[in-house]
Structures are given as structure tokens and as C-alpha cells.
């Protein structure tokens, strides 16, 4: 499987989730949380003229003159979302399209909505390339990473697979 934004996100969220997803053990369609995330995506994207644009193997939510915007249902794993967005900026850059990144987190209460901004500097791009190499190694490995045993597992689409 080609590296995409979801794989990057999972790598930072949980290496086991990254491995399982990239090796096509996809249990996500049954997850309530994934459905909520998709519904928010669809709603927000339909509010915009520049909604869901596909470039190579990535789908970006919105592009304006200055920003590429990614929409998430919460900022519970901001680090994973940040690297996913940086990966999109890198793919765009490889096509000659230079943008800054904007991450919109749509919380249950509208007043809690948050916006974060990121830029792909040369240094960050090098770090990202290092992570991409590590991800390739991880998903081609013979062994599945161990279970995390963290509270976030309860919200994960792979919970039953990992614990039951
Ligand atoms: S349930 Fe936990 S260990 Fe299993 S894939 Fe999800 S986050 Fe990772």
C-alpha cells in the first residue's frame, strides 16, 4: 500500500494501528467514531467551494491561495493530525504547489472549535522523510507491534481485534 495521510496519522497515533491498516486489516467501516468523523467531513466539505480535492493518493479537504485545510473531529491527537497535514503539504510541494497548513478541529460544542497552523520548513520536511522511511520499515515487518494498553484504545476501531 502506498503511504497516505491515514497511514501517517496512525503511525503517530499507534504503530500497531498503522501496521494493521497498512496491511489492509480494515475494521474501520464498523466504527461509530469513524462514521462521525466522516459525517463532519462531508458537512464541512459541502460548505466550501474548494471541497475534497484528490492529488495522487491523498484527499485534501480544502485549498485556498494560502492554505491547505484539513478538518478533524477533535484535537485529541494533535501530533498525529499535524504530521498528516505536513505530509499533504509535502505531496503538494512535490507538484510545485506551496501552501501553509491549517488544521480545523470541529468539537461537539461550536465554541470549542480550534484552528492550528503549520508550515513545512526544510528541517521539518527532512524529519518527515525520516518518518516515512521508518513507516515503510514498520509496515513491511514480519511482526505486529504490541498492544498499547492506553485509554485511547477504547475509542479505536481495532479495539475488539486487540483486546477481545
Ligand atoms: S486498540 Fe489500541 S493498541 Fe489496538 S490498534 Fe487501537 S490504539 Fe492501537
Q: Between these two residues, 100 and 35, which has the higher pLDDT value?
A: 100
What is the value of pTM for the model shown?
0.84
Q: Which atom of ligand 1 is nearest to the CA of 150?
A: 2
When pLDDT is cut at 50, 70 and 90, the band that residue 47 belongs to is: low
* Amino acid 144: pLDDT: 93
Sequence-separated contacts (24+) of 22-25 with Cβ below 8 Å: 22/135, 22/139, 23/139, 25/158, 25/161
Domains of the chain, with CATH numbers? 5-163 (3.90.320.10)
Burial class (CB in 10 A: 0-12, 13-18, 19+), 51: middle
Q: Which atom of ligand 1 is nearest to the CA of 145?
A: 3
* Amino acid 59: pLDDT: 80
When pLDDT is cut at 50, 70 and 90, the band that residue 51 belongs to is: low
Residue with cell 503539504: 89
**What SS3 string covers 76-123?**
CCHHHHHHHHHHHHHHHHHCCCCCEEEEEECCCCHHHCEEEEECCCHH
Q: Which of 7-16, 57-66, 111-120 has the lowest mean pLDDT?
A: 57-66
* Ligand 1 pocket at CB < 6 A: 14, 16-17, 147-148, 152-153, 156, 158-159, 162
* Amino acid 111: pLDDT: 75
HSE-up (13 A, CA, CB side) for residue 46: 5
When pLDDT is cut at 50, 70 and 90, the band that residue 57 belongs to is: confident
* Amino acid 5: pLDDT: 93
Residue 44 has pLDDT above 80, yes or no: no
Amino acid at each position: 500500500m502506498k503511504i497516505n495521510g491515514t497511514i501517517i496519522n496512525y503511525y503517530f497515533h499507534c504503530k500497531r494501528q498503522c501496521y494493521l491498516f497498512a496491511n489492509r486489516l480494515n475494521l474501520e467501516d464498523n466504527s461509530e467514531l469513524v462514521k462521525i468523523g466522516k459525517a463532519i467531513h462531508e458537512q464541512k466539505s459541502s460548505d466550501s467551494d474548494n471541497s475534497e480535492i484528490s492529488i495522487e493518493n491523498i484527499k485534501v479537504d480544502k485549498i485556498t491561495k494560502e492554505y491547505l485545510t484539513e478538518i478533524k473531529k477533535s484535537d485529541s491527537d494533535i501530533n498525529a493530525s499535524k504530521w498528516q497535514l505536513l505530509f499533504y503539504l509535502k505531496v503538494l510541494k512535490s507538484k510545485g504547489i506551496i501552501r501553509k497548513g491549517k488544521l480545523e478541529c470541529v468539537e461537539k460544542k461550536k465554541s470549542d472549535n480550534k484552528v492550528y497552523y503549520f508550515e513545512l520548513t526544510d528541517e521539518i520536511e527532512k524529519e518527515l522523510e525520516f518518518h516515512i522511511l521508518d513507516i515503510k520499515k514498520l509496515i513491511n515487518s514480519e511482526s505486529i507491534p504490541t498492544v498499547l494498553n492506553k485509554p485511547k484504545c477504547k475509542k479505536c476501531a481495532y479495539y475488539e481485534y486487540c483486546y477481545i
